[in-house]
A and B are shown apart, each in its own frame.
Chain A
Amino acid sequence: MAKEKIEAPKLTGKIETPRIQPGASLACQHHKANEQLLTGLGYPSSLVENWQEKAIAKMGELLNKYKSLKLYLDICVRCGACADKCQFYLGTGDPKNTPVGRQELFRKVYRRYFTPAGKLLGNLAGAEDFTEEVLKEWYVYFHHCSQCRRCCVACPYGIDTAEISMAAREIMHSIGLGTKYVDEIILKVFNFGNNLGMQPKAIKNSLDFCEDEMKEAYEEKGIMDIDVKIPMDVEGAEVLLVVPSADFFASPHIESLLGYAKVFYQAGISWTLSSYASEAGNFGMFIGSYDGMQKVASRIGQAVRDLKVKRLVIGECGHAYRIAYSFWNTLIGPFDTLDKRYPIPQHICEFTYDLIKRGALRLDKEANDEFVVTYHDSCNIARATRMGDMPGGQFEIPRSIIKACCNKFVDMPQETIRENTFCCGGGAGLLTDEMMDIRIKGAMPRMQALKQVIDSHGVNFFALICAICKAQFTKIFPAYGLSMDMVGGVHQLVSRAIVLGAKE
């Protein structure tokens, strides 16, 4: 744990743009990945001798592989429209935590080695040698980006800092520089199939425990004939559900797992989890590794074939759904064996919402009457995916589910939700203890927006559909003087409201 207590910003309900404080968050940096992790992932074991040369070569390679990278390095005019949009700048005031400031760290090296002006004029053209000093800043600031794309909304050209920070991380890995937190997790998926390194037996135990809990809870209410199962590795099931592994045991994640199980139970659709593909998350994206991302995703393709399922559904996880929705078809598609009448893959919210619309679920809103609920749009889902057929379904569908399960729902201010939503402050590899300073500060804008609806409407339930958001906020709320019990999943609300059993 962090030794000194980090002072959280005061909750005033207002999001103010700070004056710049150069270097304000320079000290907050990740533990580096060790030799074992790096070699395990196929990277050099430590910073290579000729790292500068290697890094520049890698940069050249990526410039020819990603249109986004080449284009976005060229066309930024530094208008500054993005600068006050990043939660990490708003929270820290560090100008290198503005999207454009962050990009410039990359761009100045790009100019020096890949543009005529930079080669000829050097500093005058805004170019800089790739020195050790610059590399240090890369390591800090490119790991302060949560790849949330809020800057991309603001940019007149759609420049996406996520594309640049991914490339920077890939370049750093190619010379033997990675973060312990993310690399450890990727290696665990390679070896065990999930981010937590859980063995199938441990997962099974946890699922059995959940089944017992549900059974007991119903029995306490005098309902004896309800036995909700959480099946694993059932060949021939209709649906394969892939959830973030935190759902197997972490709180409040597990409450949503119960919600999924009850929805399947009530819908009467056979389903299964997979012990081989026991992780929806895919940290390969965070380090910009196409191959890594593909390798992690390939477990899901394998499970689809092995278990002979017809449908593929994703649990509550933000970046996982981005990868599933946007990338799986490219990475591990085409999914020829799956039923084409359903979206491939489908989000659990789409799945549940579809059942609600068809009247297949009975929901008792009063079960959630103790809550005044607000909903935080997870960045990856809001700005990199869609639910349903209509653009913006990713905003409407989760809200519709909540409203079907609760009487009291209120949105946070418009400029902080939907496509303008903030990152929780823990995305893309920030969710580790040594980064607590920037996590707390990066959460500031979201916390201020929440404070507004707490004051005006008495909000006491903060609904999420992302495992990282859930882990981040349960940790961050206490720092802001709020109870972590407010944090929960959308399917947690479903779980409480759903009435199981035969229809009357």
Chain B
Amino acid sequence: MLSTSYIFLAYFAIIIFVFGILCKVWKYAVIPNPLKIPLTPAPTNTIGVILRMVFEVAFFKSLFKSNKFTWLGGCAFHLALLVVLASHIRFFVSPVPEPIMLLQTFLQSISMFIGLLFIAPLVYLFIRRVWVDRTRFVSIFADYFVLILLFLIGLSGITMKYLIRPDLFAVKTFILGLISFSPEPIPTNPIFITHFTLILILLIYFPFSKLMHGCGIFFSPTRNQIDNPREKRLINPWDKRII
């Protein structure tokens, strides 16, 4: 019964996650930019724009310039997220390829650090949000909700690593079963079930939330437009004069 409902829930969450994001991204892609609005100084060619985006997406360049404290918290968390996701690859592929195994061995050796790197920035960002009066003023419930959700996901993950270890073989069997559409029973470790539930909530919540910033940033016209309005005429598709 538990397994059946979780298997159902898992597929439901993944469908919402994937199609939710696709719908949003589709919208971001098709809604027109009627006017040129790059934030200048801006690159005057495509390569320049790609570089600008890389610096924004990989290093949070603008945030670095505008607020070092927030940048530090944001960077630390996103880096940890990346590493944590990488260390989960082994549950999704069988057999695990050699490079992933090597990476895994390395990550194992610093797993305590990674766990902290994931949890600590969330606590820091939470405190900062409450501490700075203007940030507290503009914060809404969703802002705290996401921090708490991610914190609990991290906490349950760390608990599994160091306190109540689930049967990793069972976990992998369960996940591979989901992927291959031949579901296996869910492991009964309560911490695993908690961890898994929270992640499903996150997946369902993602497309409807501010977490879409991860996809949205690529479409941001002030950042991704080339500064060439005089050289190349932008046509506004809904301009009455042109229609």
Contact = CB atoms under 8 A, between A and B. Distances in A.
Interface in B41-74: 41-44, 48, 56, 60, 62-63, 65-67, 70, 74
Interface stretch (A49-57, A252-260, A380-388): A380-388
Contacts of B43: 391
B227 A386 contact: yes
Contact of A153 (B66, B74, B135, B210): B66
A294 B35 CA distance: 12
Given A152-B39, A158-B220, A394-B40, A95 B31 contact: no
B66 to A, nearest CB: 4
B216 A78 contact: no
A75 B221 CA distance: 13
Contacts of A83: 134-135, 138
Contacts of B27: 70
Nearest to A384: B40
Given A75-B210, A116-B208, A391-B40, A22 B216 contact: no
B70 A71 contact: no
B216 A155 contact: no
B133 A78 contact: no
Contacts of A158: 39, 56, 62, 217, 220-223
A111 to B, nearest CB: 9
B141 interface: yes
B32 A329 contact: no
B142 interface: yes
A81 B213 CA distance: 15
Interface stretch (A96-104, A271-279, A398-406): A96-104
A67 B41 contact: no
Interface string A62-86: 0111111011101111111111110
A20 B222 CA distance: 29
A80 B67 contact: yes
A186 B31 CA distance: 28
A126 B44 CA distance: 39
Contacts of B24: 74
A213 interface: no
A85 B44 contact: no
Contact of A75 (B32, B134, B217): B217
A42 B201 CA distance: 48
A125 B141 contact: yes
Contacts of A163: 37
Contacts of A419: 40-41
B217 A157 contact: yes
Contacts of A76: 210, 213
A413 interface: no
A100 B139 CA distance: 10
A419 B132 CA distance: 26
B147 to A, nearest CB: 11
Contacts of B181: none
Contact of A71 (B28, B141, B208): B28
Contacts of B216: 71, 74-75, 157
Given A71-B28, A327-B229, A386-B227, A79 B33 contact: no
Nearest to B224: A158
A22 B137 CA distance: 9
Contacts of B62: 81, 153-156, 158
Interface residues of A, number: 72
A166 to B, nearest CB: 10
Nearest to B143: A78
Interface in A147-167: 149, 152-160, 163
Interface residues of B, number: 61
Contact of B233 (A89, A155, A334): A334
A326 B36 contact: yes
B70 A344 contact: no
A157 B42 contact: no
Given A156-B74, A291-B240, A382-B40, A80 B235 contact: no
Interface centre among A79, A152, A163 (most CB of B within 10 A): A79
B32 A117 contact: no
A334 B39 CA distance: 23
Given A85-B66, A344-B230, A70 B39 contact: no
B190 interface: no
Contacts of A104: 138, 140
A126 B219 contact: no
B189 interface: no
Interface string A225-250: 00000000000000000000000000
A333 interface: yes
A115 B239 contact: no
A78 B139 contact: yes
B106 to A, nearest CB: 30
B214 to A, nearest CB: 9
B140 A126 contact: yes
B212 interface: yes
Interface string A332-346: 011000000001110
Contact of A68 (B40, B217, B221): B221
A209 interface: no
A325 B232 CA distance: 11
Contacts of B35: 290, 326-327, 330
Given A65-B31, A67-B32, A80 B135 contact: yes
Contact of B74 (A79, A116, A395): A79
Contacts of B133: 19-20, 95
Contact of B67 (A115, A154, A329): A154
A329 B230 contact: yes
A392 interface: yes
A68 B222 CA distance: 8
Contact of A160 (B39, B60, B65): B39
Interface of B: 24, 27-28, 31-37, 39-44, 48, 56, 60, 62-63, 65-67, 70, 74, 129, 132-135, 137-143, 208-210, 212-213, 216-217, 219-223, 227, 229-230, 233-236, 238-241
Closest 8 CB pairs of A and B: A126-B140, A154-B66, A391-B41, A80-B135, A75-B216, A158-B222, A158-B223, A156-B63
Interface of A: 19-20, 22, 63-68, 70-72, 74-85, 89, 95, 98, 100-101, 104, 115-117, 124-126, 149, 152-160, 163, 290-291, 294, 325-327, 329-331, 333-334, 343-345, 382-386, 389, 391-392, 394-395, 419
13 contacts: A66-B34, A71-B220, A98-B134, A101-B134, A124-B141, A125-B140, A126-B140, A126-B141, A149-B222, A154-B63, A154-B66, A160-B37, A329-B233
